[in-house]
């Protein structure tokens, strides 16, 4: 167990490794992969369960097999992995089970400390376990099966959350507007898709999203929807901002201040938008709300990511490889979540209600 606690590749954050696997490069096979994922229900594709009893159950292996799925959010994978912990558990009392879960979620969290939605998902599920099950169900077995059932339906919840956000968000898109999008986010894509399906006429500017070039994928998706789309290099944001009516971004995590942690570059886009009085909208599922309060950019464990500059970099030159930045709440206008449209200040209120 102890050897699996370490992320095998310390050079790159596991979170971004997943992202790169899912929607990093634009190749022909991701199209096929995405196409295959669209039609199917998230519950229909569980990974082949390892039934060989010789190998001890490991929550991290479980998590890793879940997170391979391109349509599954990381928090969902974490909760599904924790559900498997409950299923394989030999515990006979609630207390034992809780301790076991705690251990599993701690090892999950320490396996990848950089992923915020992984931590938030674990916290949310642990909170649910400790708060409700012990109170309402006297029978241990029924409590256990209820927890498993809830966790397994969480994938569905997360899928519904995306639909709700899309419905809420598309109201803010008006005919003839220009939207700037940074990087690739499934939620943002869903919002734009819904708006396009509702016959809204709008234009999208995609940033390139260096170094993993996720913006290319989004622009490709937009083109498929017949939405006029323009690709910008990341440094052209300020240059085009006067044409833009609103900025749409996703989030890796929403923190307690109401700010967001997102792909590198979000902060500077928000700053530019703020100085030009353009609204910045964030689309994020509520399971990404995390109990963090970063005071500045360097206040989090950096998520590292290799950057390909195309030419060899001399060894004396240092490279900033952090993959994400923190955008303070005063630069965000509204957050679209499955809990409704929220102002940034509501986020801390929600978190306090849950974890107090």
Partner 1 sequence: MPDVQVLVNEFIIKLKKRKVEGSQATARMTAELLRSVISQQRVPYNNQAGALIDAIKAVGEQLIAANPVELAVGNIVRRVLHIIREEDLSLATAAVAGLNLSAVSDDEDDGEREDHPVLSAAAVAAAARSTLRPPSLQTLLEDMPDSAAVPQSSSSGGDSEGKSKSADKSSRSRKLKHDIIEAVNELIQDIATCHEQISEQAVEHIHQNEVILTLGRSRTVMEFLCAAKEKKRSFRVFVAEGAPRYQGHVLAKELVARGLQTTLITDSAVFAMISRVNMVIVGAHAVMANGGVIAPVGLNMVALAAQRHAVPFVVLAGTHKLCPLYPHNPEVLLNELKSPSELLDFGEFSDCMDFGSGNGSPLLHVVNPAFDYVPPKLVSLFITDTGGHNPSYMYRLIADYYSADDLVVQRRPASGN
Which of 216, 282, 205, 191 is CA-nearest to residue 243?
Answer: 205
Strands 229-232 and 253-254: unpaired
For the record, the structure tokens of 79 come out as 């909760």
DSSP 131: I
Give the x-and-dash track for 53-92 against partner 1 (CB under 8 A): ----------------------------------------
Rounded to 5°, angle at Cα 114 from 113 and 119:
60
> Binding residue for partner 1 (CB under 8 A) from 25, 160, 233, 313?
160
Provide the minimum distance between the beta carbon of 295 and partner 1 in the complex, in angstroms, as a whole number.
20
Select 180 or 342, whichever has its Cβ closest to partner 1.
Answer: 342
**Binding region for partner 1 (CB under 8 A) out of 65-73, 92-100, 149-157, 182-190:** 149-157
Provide the minimum distance between the beta carbon of 345 and partner 1 in the complex, in angstroms, as a whole number.
4
- Which residues ranging from 287 to 326 are in contact with partner 1 (CB under 8 A)? 287, 289
- Which residues ranging from 337 to 356 are in contact with partner 1 (CB under 8 A)? 338-343, 345-346, 349-351, 353-354
CA torsion 145→151→152→157, rounded to 10°?
140
Select 27 or 277, whichever has its Cβ closest to partner 1.
Answer: 277
User: What distance, in Å, lies between the first and last C-alpha atoms of the chain?
Assistant: 32
DSSP H helices, the chain, are: 14-23, 28-39, 59-67, 74-88, 94-111, 116-128, 134-136, 140-170, 186-197, 214-224, 237-240, 266-275, 344-355
According to the binding rule CB under 8 A, does residue 334 interact with partner 1? yes
Give the x-and-dash track for 167-206 against partner 1 (CB under 8 A): ----xx-x--------------------------------
Select 82 or 108, whichever has its Cβ closest to partner 1.
Answer: 82
Would you say 265 and 183 are in contact if contact means Cβ atoms under 8 Å apart? yes
Select 20 or 168, whichever has its Cβ closest to partner 1.
Answer: 168
Give the x-and-dash track for 129-148 against partner 1 (CB under 8 A): --xx---x------------
Provide the minimum distance between the beta carbon of 350 and partner 1 in the complex, in angstroms, as a whole number.
5
Neighbours of 185 (CB within 10 A): 24
Provide the minimum distance between the beta carbon of 180 and partner 1 in the complex, in angstroms, as a whole number.
17
**Binding region for partner 1 (CB under 8 A) out of 26-34, 59-67, 155-163, 317-325:** 155-163
Select 188 or 232, whichever has its Cβ closest to partner 1.
Answer: 188
How far is residue 263's CA from residue 182's CA, in Å, rounded to a whole number? 8
Select 228 or 340, whichever has its Cβ closest to partner 1.
Answer: 340
Strands 324-327 and 280-283: unpaired
For the record, the structure tokens of 213 come out as 């070039």
CA torsion 39→119→273→158, rounded to 10°?
30
Which residues of the chain form contacts with partner 1 (CB under 8 A)?
Answer: 124-125, 128, 131-132, 136, 150, 153-154, 157, 160-161, 164, 171-172, 174, 286-287, 289, 334, 338-343, 345-346, 349-351, 353-354
């Amino acid at each position: 167990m102890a050897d699996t606690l370490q992320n095998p590749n310390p050079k790159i954050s596991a979170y971004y490794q997943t992202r790169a696997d899912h929607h990093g490069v634009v190749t022909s096979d991701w199209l096929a992969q995405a196409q295959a994922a669209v039609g199917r229900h998230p519950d229909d594709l569980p990974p082949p369960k390892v039934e060989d009893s010789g190998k001890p159950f490991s929550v991290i292996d479980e998590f890793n097999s879940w997170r391979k799925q391109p349509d599954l959010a990381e928090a969902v994978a974490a909760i599904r992995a924790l559900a498997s912990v409950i299923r394989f558990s030999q515990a006979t009392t609630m207390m034992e089970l809780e301790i076991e879960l705690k251990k599993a979620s701690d090892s999950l969290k320490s396996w990848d400390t950089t992923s915020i939605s992984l931590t938030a998902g674990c916290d949310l599920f642990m909170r649910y376990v400790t708060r409700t099950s012990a109170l309402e169900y006297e029978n241990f077995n029924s409590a256990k099966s209820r927890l498993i059932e809830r966790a397994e339906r969480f994938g569905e919840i997360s899928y519904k959350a995306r639909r709700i956000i899309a419905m809420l968000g598309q109201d803010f898109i008006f005919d003839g507007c220009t939207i700037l999008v940074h990087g690739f986010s499934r939620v943002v894509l869903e919002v734009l898709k819904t708006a396009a399906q509702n016959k809204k006429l709008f234009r999208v500017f995609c940033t390139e999203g260096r170094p993993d070039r996720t913006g290319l994928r989004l622009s490709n998706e937009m083109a498929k929807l017949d939405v006029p789309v323009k690709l910008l290099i990341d440094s052209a944001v300020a240059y085009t901002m006067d044409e833009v009516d609103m900025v749409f971004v996703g989030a890796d995590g929403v923190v307690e201040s109401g700010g967001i942690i997102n792909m590198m570059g979000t902060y500077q886009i928000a700053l530019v938008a703020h100085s030009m009085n353009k609204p910045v909208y964030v689309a994020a599922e509520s399971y990404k709300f995390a109990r963090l309060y970063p005071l500045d950019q360097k206040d989090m464990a950096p998520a590292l990511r290799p950057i390909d500059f195309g030419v060899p970099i001399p060894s004396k030159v240092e490279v900033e490889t952090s993959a994400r930045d923190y955008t303070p709440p005063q630069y965000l206008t509204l957050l679209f979540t499955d809990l409704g449209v929220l102002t940034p200040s509501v986020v801390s209120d929600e978190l306090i209600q849950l974890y107090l």
